[in-house]
Amino acid sequence: RMQNSRSKPCSCPSLKLREVASMYFTLVAAFLVILVVALQGSAPRGTDFPYKVPLDPQGLLELSWNVSYPEQAVHFQLLIRELRFGLLFGMSDRGEFENADLAVLWSDGHNSYFGDAWSDAKGQLHMDSQQDYQLLGARRAPEGLYLLFRRAFSTCDPKDYLIEDGTVHLIYGILEKPVHSLQAINVSALHGGLQRVQLLKPNISIPELPSDMKTMEITAPDVVIPSQETTYWCYMAELPEGFPKHHIIMYEPVVTAGNEALVHHMEVFQCAAEFDSFPHYNGPCDSKMKPERLNYCRHVLAAWAMGAQAFYYPEEAGLAFGGPGSSRYLRLEIHYHNPLVFQGRRDSSGIRLYYTASLRRHDAGIMELGLVYTPVMAIPPGEDAFVLTGYCTDKCTQLALPAAGIRIFASQLHTHLAGRKVVTVLSRDGRERQVVNADRHYSPHFQEIRMLKEVVAVFPGDELITTCTYNTEDRSRATVGGFGILEEMCVNYVHYYPQTQLELCKSAVDPGYLHRYFNLVNRFNDEEICMCPQVSVPQQFYSIPWNTFNRDVLKSLYGFAPISMHCNKSSAVRFPGEWEKQPLPSITERLREPVPHCPPVPGPQPAAPIPLNLGQPRRD
C-alpha cells in the first residue's frame, strides 16, 4: 500500500512502480478467475460434510461441517433454502449477537458481498481487519444456495471466537432488505436465533459390528407435538418377556422427516429393577397424570442431542441390558423445541438401539462424579462466575477400582439452569494429569453423551475433580443444591469399562463446618439468622444478607473445609470406611492452560469484502 502519495506531485510513475502495478492487477484478475471457478464448482458430496444441523426452527438454513485436525480447521457448508438479501452466521460466547464473530453475506439489491466481521458490545458490525472466514465457494442448486467457507480453530485475532472442545453457540440472522454496507446492518432488527452444537467431533474410527447384531427402536407412538415452545414428552416401553442379557454396542437417532428442527434432544432410561412392573404412560413428563413411579426410571441407556451422530461403544465393551437383575421397563424422554408454535405436527422420533447376544469382553458402566445433591452446596445470588467443586478422592478409588484400573471413553456433563462451565480433571499424586472432559461454553439446554477424543485410564489412588461454574445474576436469593430445576447440580456421568461396583463418587462440604459459617454470619450481622435445628439449610441460606464479606467467606469455606465423601455402590450403600470430615485433596501442580496454536497469516489481507455474483435476490 502506498503511503503519502498525495504529498508530492508526480508526473509519471517509474518503470518499477508500473511493473508492480501490472503484477498486482494480474494477481487480482487471477484471483477473481479462481473465485468465479470456485463459485461454479461441483457440489460437494454429502460424505464430505458428515455433521449436519438445522439452524432455524423452519429448517430454511441447514449447516453441514467437517473437522480437519491436521489443518486445525472446520469446513462449513451452509444451505440457504430461500435467500433474501443475505445472512449473518457466526459464534459468540453464549449465543448473543453482541461481541460475536461473524461471516456475513449481504446484498445492496444489485451486488452481493461476503466478509468476516465482528460485532461490538452494542451490536454494531465492523469489518474484521483479519479475514479469517475464508470463502471457498458458492453455488445455486434446486434446493437453494450453498455457501462454503473455512475457519481455523484458533486465529489469534482478539476479535475472533476460539473454537474449542465442547459446546459452541452458533448464531444466524436473515437479512430481509437490501443494505448498502456492512455497517448499515441493524442486528437488533434481524430475524435470527441460535443453535448449539459440538463442532469439534472426536476423530474416532468406527469399531467393527458383529454379524448377529439386532436393532430395536424405542420411538414415540405418533404423538401430536404440543403447540407450545418447550415440551418434555415421556413414553414407557418394555422389553419382551424373558429378554436375556445383551450388550448395546451402538445407538443412533430416529427423527421423523420434517421434524428435524423440532426434536431437540432424546434420552432412553431404564427403570429400577426393584419394581416388578411400571404403569404405561404416554404424555408430557410434567403432567399431573404422570404416575409417580416413573421417577424411578433414571438409569441412562442412551442420550442424543441435535447435531450428534451415532454413538459407538469401544469394541471391547457393551452396555448390558436384559437378563436377571435388569428391569424390562424403559422410559423414552423427548424434548420438543417448538418456538414457532406449530400446531398438529405428528412425531414418531426416538432412538434405535443396536445390540448383540454375543457379549463383549467387558460390561460398560456409568459412574457419577461431582457434587452430592444437597443444599449444603449453595451459590449466592448476583454472581457472574461462582465456582463449586466436587471430589472423587484417592481413598475411594483405592478401595473401589480394580488394580488394572478403568477406561473412561465417554462423558455427559450435567447442571441445572445456572450452569455455565463444567470441567473434570484427573489428578495423580497431587498433580493434575489430564482433562477428562471440559465444556467452557456449557449450556444446560444442550446435554449429550460425548465420546472422548482419547480414552482416559483411571487407576486406584487417582482423584477425579469436577468443577462447575454458575451464573446467578438474574436471581435474588441463594441457589442451593438439589433436584428442583431452580436448585443446582454439578455432575459428570462418565461411561467406562470394565464395570465396577462404584456407581457414585461425589462429595459435599462437611455440614458441621457449614453450621460454623452460619454462626459466623450471625456474629457480623444485625438481623439474626435463626440457627434452630428446625430451620432447614435452604432457609438459613435464603435469610443471609449477601454482602461481600458473607460471599467471600462462603467461597473460602468451600475452598478449605473438609468434605463428606459419598463412595457408593449401586445399591446407594457406601463402601466400608470413614467418609465424613475427609481432607480436601491437595493439588501441588495444575495443568497448564493450552496455548492456542496460531496458523501462519498469509501476509496482510485487506479488510475488504469479496464480491459475489449470485443473481438477483428474492424480493417477495
User: Residue 537: its pLDDT value, please?
Assistant: 95
What is the set of domains in the chain, with CATH numbers?
51-201 (2.60.40.1210), 206-360 (2.60.120.310), 363-521+546-594 (2.60.120.230)
97-133 per-position pLDDT tens digit: 999 999 999 999 999 999 999 999 999 999 999 999 9
* Cα gap 333→323, rounded to integer Å: 23
User: Residue 309: its pLDDT value, please?
Assistant: 81
User: Residue 199: its pLDDT value, please?
Assistant: 95
255-282 per-position pLDDT tens digit: 999 999 899 889 999 999 989 999 999 9
* C-alpha cell recorded at residue 448: 449429550
- CA of residue 83 relative to chain centroid, distance: 29
Give the Å distances, CA to CA, from 508 to 159, 309, 393, 469, 546. Answer: 40, 35, 12, 16, 22
488-497 per-position pLDDT tens digit: 999 999 999 9
Give the Å distances, CA to CA, from 584 to 29, 73, 262, 308, 587. Answer: 66, 40, 45, 37, 9
Residue 187 banded pLDDT, cuts 50, 70, 90: confident
Read off φ and ψ for residue 522, nearest 5 degrees: -60, -40
Using the 8-state DSSP alphabet, how is residue 133 labeled? S
* Interacting residues of 109 by C-beta distance below 8 A, sequence separation 6+: 85, 178, 617
Query: Of the ranges 227-241, 498-512, 543-557, 586-600, which one carries the lowest mean pLDDT score?
Result: 586-600
User: Residue 615: its pLDDT value, please?
Assistant: 65
Instruction: Find out whether 428 and 436 touch, Cβ atoms under 8 Å.
Output: no
User: Residue 576: its pLDDT value, please?
Assistant: 94
| Per-residue pLDDT at 18 exceeds 50 | no
Q: Which of 57, 21, 64, 27 is nearest to 43 (CA)?
A: 64
Instruction: Find out whether 320 and 363 touch, Cβ atoms under 8 Å.
Output: yes
388-430 per-position pLDDT tens digit: 999 999 999 999 999 999 999 999 999 989 999 999 999 999 9
Task: Tell me the average pLDDT across 85-93.
Answer: 96
Active site residue 414: yes
* C-alpha cell recorded at residue 189: 432488527
| Per-residue pLDDT at 290 exceeds 80 | yes
Q: Which of 232, 281, 296, 542 is catalytic?
A: 232
User: Residue 22: its pLDDT value, please?
Assistant: 44
Q: Which of 126, 414, 445, 515 is catalytic?
A: 414
Q: Which of 439, 452, 231 is nearest to 343 (CA)?
A: 231
User: Residue 20: its pLDDT value, please?
Assistant: 42
* Cα gap 75→63, rounded to integer Å: 10
Residue 604 banded pLDDT, cuts 50, 70, 90: low
* C-alpha cell recorded at residue 589: 501442580
* Cα gap 599→152, rounded to integer Å: 7
What average pLDDT does the structure give for the chain? 88
User: Residue 189: its pLDDT value, please?
Assistant: 82
User: Residue 601: its pLDDT value, please?
Assistant: 61
Q: Is 154 exposed, middle or buried (0-12, 13-18, 19+ CB in 10 A)?
A: buried
* Interacting residues of 535 by C-beta distance below 8 A, sequence separation 6+: none
* Cα gap 206→116, rounded to integer Å: 36
